[in-house]
Structure 1
Amino acid sequence: MSRTSRSVVIALLVIVVVAVLGVIYASPYIALDRLKRAADARDAQTVNQYVDFPLLRESLKDQVGQLLTRKIDIQKSGNPLAMIGAMIGAALIGPLVDSYATPDGVAAILNGIPPRGDPGEKPPVPSEANGAVVAGPGAAQTPQPQPSAPAQPAPAVASPSAPKPPPQTTAGYRSFDTFAVNYQHGTGDARYSAILRRSGLFSWKLVAVELNDG
């Protein structure tokens, strides 16, 4: 083989190696995008390819249990009825976990709506989930009546039903096999993380959620 041919082969090998490494690095971002699209569309078949539901269920059970334990500890010296409510919530961990270990629950988690550990809590239905995180600049606004004469402006009051803006998110590797997506709506708001784990060289699956109530 001539020197020119060897140079061409080496250059091609370098290109291939760089391309493969690039795909490996980008693989969790690609998997996350596909998973979110499938979850938002309630495409259960595709969601199943990107979620390890037994591991996610165990993670939710553990995290919601810890969340309720923190609530009970905070309320021990407070209102007894509030503590009883938290203990009732602890008895409802199973149904809550089952409701979030679903395509609806995955969509809620990836859209900034994690479980809070409230009794009877369920992930929002698709229209509610979309409305809770989507507030496009072109969204229609309800027309407000115009006063016939100048009036003293009333103080602005936030509507309790107004949707929150999309959460602030950061994402990155924790290790070669672990990738985390971190969510927070604003300063002082609850933070949580969705954890993906490598499944093969290029594939990733959602396996856990890390909740933080403050």
Structure 2
Amino acid sequence: MSRTSRSVATALVVLILVAALGFVYASPYIALNRVKRAADARDAQTVNEYVDFPALRASLKDQVAALLTRRIDIQKSGNPLAIIGAMIGAALVGPLVDSYATPDGVAAILNGIPPRGDPGERPPPQANNGTSANPAASSSNAPSSGVATAQQPPREPPQTTAGYRDLNTFVVTYQHGAGDARYSAIFRRYGLVSWKLAAVDLNG
């Protein structure tokens, strides 16, 4: 093999390696794009490929329970009726989790509409407003919760950031405004280039 041929072969191998590494690095962004599009379209079969529902359900249960516990602690010295309302909400954690561990719920989470722990809350049935699934773009003008906040005016789309937390964890963080609470959708690696939504962090 001539020197020129060896140089071409080496350059080709380097290009293939760089392309492969680029695809591996971009794989969670691709997964985010695909699962968001599928959830917005209520394509349950595709959503199932990109969501670890048992892990997401467990995470939602823990996060919502912790949210309600904090709410009860804050309201202990306040209005007794508010405390009763929070306790009723705690009893409804199961149904709330069940409603969010669905394509509708995934669409809401990925469109900046997380569960807030309100009694009777359900994800809005039409979370998508037709915007891009780009992780740097926002995706919803819908109300920020279900039944309990149905009369609230639409909020501005959230600011969204996405990136690796570590080699096997990819986090998408949403925040509607500088003074608003943040929350995160957490993707975990399942194989070399496969990623699934597996958890939420309602504390950002």
What TM-score do you get using the length of structure 1 for normalisation? 0.83
Distance in 2 between residues matched to 1:197 and 1:203, nearest whole Å? 9
- Looking at both structures, which has the greater relative contact order when contacts are Cα pairs under 8 Å and sequence separation is at least 6? 1
Once the two structures are TM-superposed, the CA of residue 134 in structure 1 deviates from its matched residue by: 4.3
What displacement does 1:3 show? 2.3
**For residues 30 and 130 of structure 1, what CA distance do their matches in structure 2 show?**
18
CA distance in structure 2 between the aligned counterparts of 1:130 and 1:4, rounded to whole angstroms: 54
**C-alpha separation in 2, matches of 1:172 and 1:98:** 28
CA RMSD of aligned residues (A): 1.6
TM alignment of 1:30-69, pairs within 5 A = 30-69=30-69
Distance 1:28 1:130 in 2: 21
> Using the alignment, how far apart are the partners of 1:120 and 1:78 within structure 2?
22
**Per-residue deviation at 1:76?**
1.1
Counterparts of 1:161 and 1:65, CA distance in 2: 24
1:206 CA drift (Å): 0.1
Alpha-carbon distance in 2 for matches of 1:107, 1:27:
20
Aligned 1:1-214 pairs, distance under 5 A: 1-126=1-126, 129-130=127-128, 133-134=140-141, 161-212=152-203
Note the residue ranges of structure 1 that are not aligned, 5 or more in a row: 136-159
**Separation (CA, whole Å) in 1 of partners of 2:122 and 2:181:** 18
Q: Mark the structure with the bigger radius of gyration.
A: 1
What is the TM-score normalised by the length of structure 2?
Answer: 0.87
| Mapped partners of 2:48, 2:197: distance in 1 | 10
Paired-residue identity, %: 77
Q: Using a 3 Å threshold, how does the CA distance of structure 1 residues 119 and 197 change in structure 2: closer, same or farther?
A: same
Q: Secondary structure at the match of 1:133?
A: coil
Instruction: Write the letter of the residue equivalent to 2:63.
Output: Q
Asked whether the equivalents of residues 156 and 176 of structure 2 are also in contact (C-alpha less than 8 Å), the reply is yes
Equivalent residues of 2:107, 2:128 under 8 A apart? no
Farther-moved stretch of structure 1 (48-57 vs 69-78): 69-78
